[in-house]
Amino acid sequence: GNSVTQMEGPVTLSEEAFLTINCTYTATGYPSLFWYVQYPGEGLQLLLKATKADDKGSNKGFEATYRKETTSFHLEKGSVQVSDSAVYFCALTIQGAQKLVFGQGTRLTINP
């Protein structure tokens, strides 16, 4: 089946620290990969995506590279801000499946 596994949270960092949130997946077929972010009290927003192997998605200083050989899509940011505090979800979809499969979410807290 299709599944996504994220690193256990919560993650707490100081402002300007380097961030990595690990995400690995198993999929039948060729998935598209996503990172969604959920700020406190809000719905999910797409942060970035990659639709094929070796693609790099980037947005707001965040990056993730689709690694088929390691079935990974780790989220990185070089210097986090307090405003990055949120829950981050890694997700995949298989073409034609018409549903997102989410990881369990990683809560990130950035302290000033």
Partner 1 sequence: DTAVSQTPKYLVTQMGNDKSIKCEQNLGHDTMYWYKQDSKKFLKIMFSYNNKELIINETVPNRFSPKSPDKAHLNLHINSLELGDSAVYFCASSQEPSGGNGEQFFGPGTRLTVL
Question: Quick one: tokens of 17?
Answer: 């620290």
User: x/- site string to partner 1, residues 64 to 93, per CB under 8 A?
Assistant: -----------------------x-x---x
Rounded-to-integer distance, Cα 10 and Cα 68, Å: 27
Return the half-sphere exposure (C-beta side, CA atoms, 13 A cut-off) of residue 4.
25
How far is residue 80's CA from residue 16's CA, in Å, rounded to a whole number? 5
Cα Rg of the chain (Å, integer): 13
Q: Which is nearer to partner 1, 1 or 112 (CB)?
A: 1
Expressed in angstroms, the distance from the first to the final Cα of the chain is 41
Segment near partner 1 (CB under 8 A), from 19-27, 36-44, 57-65, 75-83? 36-44
Contact window for partner 1 (CB under 8 A) among 18-26, 60-68, 76-84, 97-105: 97-105
Interface residues toward partner 1, by CB under 8 A: 30, 32, 34, 36, 38, 42-46, 49, 51, 87, 89, 93-102, 104-105, 107
